[in-house]
A = this chain, B = another copy of it.
Amino acid sequence: MTRFVSTRNIRFMIREVFDADSLTAHPYYDRHTPKMFDMVMDAAVKLATQLMYPVLTEMDRHPPVLENGQVKAHKAVKKIMTEFGQGGWISAGFPESHGGEQIPLIIRSAASFVFAAANYSASAYPELTAGAAELITSFGSRHLIDTFVPNMLAGRWQGTMALTGPQAGSSLSDITTTASRGNNGWFKIKGIKTFISAGDHDGAENVVHLMLARIENAPPGAKGISLFVVPQKRLDDKENLVSNDVTTAAVYHKLGGRGIPALELSMGEKDDCHGWLVGEEDKGLSHMFQMMNEARILVGLGACAIASAAYYAALDYAKKRPQGRPVTRKDPTAPQVPIIEHADVKRMLLFQRSVVEGGFSLILQCAKYADLMRVSVGGERERYQLLLDLLTPVAKTFPSEYGFLATSSAIQCFGGYGYCEDFPVEQYLRDIRIHPIHEGTTGIQGMDLLGRKLVMKNGKAGQLFLAELDHTIQAAQSFSGLGYAAAALSAARKQLEAVAGFLLQVAGQQKIEAYLSDATLFLEFFGLIVISWQWLIQGISAEKALAEKSSRKEVRFYRGKLFAMHYFFRYELPRTRGLSVRLMDGDYLTLDMDSEYLTDY
């Protein structure tokens, strides 16, 4: 079997580290049992292996094309949408009241991870549909829900997020798509949307866009944006699907992610595009952000998953490919050794593994906070909410940025062969490069962390996070094998306080531009500490298990886990040293320098 994830690691994470089984004690989740979680994961692996991984390369080599105004996707897409609909994968996380299974997000995330590792493009079709449907159920009227959601959850209708336009890019407050009031409860939509993933394809009977637009005479900027459902085809009086005047203007030709089309859409060319308001007028951005926050974590999850697939491809190759000899035994008549025996190759593999498993851990941590939020109230609920808010930019960015480096490192393990289409790693590099961009670039995530999350409620989220760190450090102190790591995390905690304190002082002097100027670097700095924390949490579970287990295979798993943890502490966490020097340096080069100095001719 070709491996793109470690099912052993997933089991470790879900059960031993995050104890997902304990969720079943809450009434909302009590229809589930640990055994059912196992069955869900087994089914996910089977679906990924049999349906998605086999078409990974093909979907890349034969990307969707625009023919006679309709996008033709790979034929596997229809099969995947149908299978995900019928198998209950799109609806799994929805409440029973909407036809769902109330499966905890942590289980659903682990399944999403498996799907994305097998074939990220393919997995995005149903994921987008679930996200769009969730937005309708959260803010839409009963009528909207009944019209759209069942078809979406069944995998018959595709869902999308249609946010930005050509002149807006990341600046959503500048979108120009307009909505004019109609007479029958709908609006007339007019405008152009760019980069709409899965915005049109023949693998679904209809496409349902969750679209941002500006109602005529709305206030300027972010406060005048509303959210609409704009289907590609609408139902006429006789319940037939007829055109809703949404035209596919162009297909983007992309570096990667080629299995799913990104489109430019044009609404209202014949002045006949209907849209239905979702939620309140002018509150579109804040409604959309519910979906966006989940989408951001899903982007991080996807990056992690691609990096996972790249890691296992590299690991497999490194074990099989003989080349060179140990540095102290160069006898040319001796056989060559597998390249995994070279220290530098081991280092590269450990880097990849530490990024994949460290990032995945954070994704599941976020999912667990979300699950606990749902079943708690008051201060406890606020605590989970704040931690989730604080960690979201990291969960989006760390796997995207470091996952890109990890995937590049997987190519390096293959040498020249990694650069060729014979192995999937070159595709993984192309696929993962979008992750630091879509659903808010890394720069935007940094601004979100420093400009919003760190200062909201008087810095309460940061305080809660420090308490989480302390809790983990203390728990680690019972294990002598974790001494170095616990001490290193403790030192990093001090560094974090120093850097954040310095920056907040800058902000306190009203130097807001200076405070935010290196937000991207602060995000990297903070991310390294967050992932170290996640590694220490895993280390504690591994040490606990080692004290009890003794089968050779199990011991190998836990010891390997501890080596990966040590790798992260010894090789990656020290990057914070340079970053903290920069962040506390007090020089604001990028503000002092007029942009004309970059023009050198």
The chain A residues found within 8 Å of chain B, CB to CB, are: 3, 6-9, 167-171, 173-174, 194-195, 220-222, 252-256, 262, 315, 319, 321-328, 330-333, 336, 338, 340-347, 349-350, 353, 404, 408, 411-412, 415-416, 418-422, 426, 429-430, 433-434, 436-438, 441-443, 446-447, 451, 512-513, 516-521, 556-557, 559-561, 563, 566-567, 570-571, 574-579, 581-582, 585, 587, 589-591, 593, 595-601
Contact = CB atoms under 8 A, between A and B. Distances in A.
Nearest to A571: B582
Given A451-B327, A577-B581, A195 B416 contact: yes
Nearest to A405: B405
A317 to B, nearest CB: 11
Tell me if A's interface is mostly helix, strand, loop or mixed. Answer: helix
A495 to B, nearest CB: 12
Contacts of A598: 315, 340, 346, 349-350, 353, 560
B593 A582 contact: no
Given A340-B598, A408-B433, A429-B433, A589 B560 contact: no
Contact of A171 (B6, B323, B577, B581): B323
Nearest to A311: B598
Contacts of A415: 169-170, 437, 441
A595 B344 contact: no
Given A255-B419, A347-B590, A598-B340, A220 B438 contact: no
Given A315-B598, A598-B340, A168 B437 contact: no
Contact of A570 (B341, B347, B560, B582): B582
A512 B556 contact: no
Q: What are the 3 A-B residue pairs with the smallest beta carbon separation, nearest first? A: A221-B332, A560-B597, A574-B578
Contacts of A518: 343, 347
A312 to B, nearest CB: 10
Contact of A332 (B174, B412, B575): B174
A255 B590 contact: no
The copy count of this chain in the complex is 2
Contacts of A416: 169, 194-195, 262, 434, 437-438
Contacts of A519: 344
Contact of A426 (B255, B447, B559, B561): B255
Given A429-B255, A567-B589, A598-B560, A437 B451 contact: no
A460 B418 CA distance: 37
Nearest to A418: B437
Given A324-B170, A441-B415, A585-B570, A513 B343 contact: yes
A349 B325 CA distance: 42
B513 A7 contact: no
Contacts of A327: 447, 451, 512-513, 516
A519 to B, nearest CB: 7
Could you say which of A9, A342, A576 has the most chain B C-beta atoms within 10 Å of its C-beta? Answer: A342
Contacts of A170: 323-324, 415
A589 B350 contact: yes
A251 to B, nearest CB: 10
B556 A596 contact: yes
Contacts of A513: 326-328, 343
A576 B567 CA distance: 18
B323 A169 contact: yes
Given A171-B324, A415-B437, A415-B441, 7 more contacts: A169-B324, A220-B333, A327-B447, A344-B519, A416-B437, A419-B433, A561-B600
B412 A556 contact: no
B343 A563 contact: no
Nearest to A585: B570
A590 B557 CA distance: 17
Contacts of A433: 408, 411, 419, 429
Contacts of A590: 343-344, 346-347, 350
Contacts of A567: 589
Contacts of A171: 323-325, 336
Contacts of A167: 322, 336
Nearest to A174: B336
A6 B582 contact: no
A169 B325 CA distance: 12
A232 B601 CA distance: 46
A599 to B, nearest CB: 7
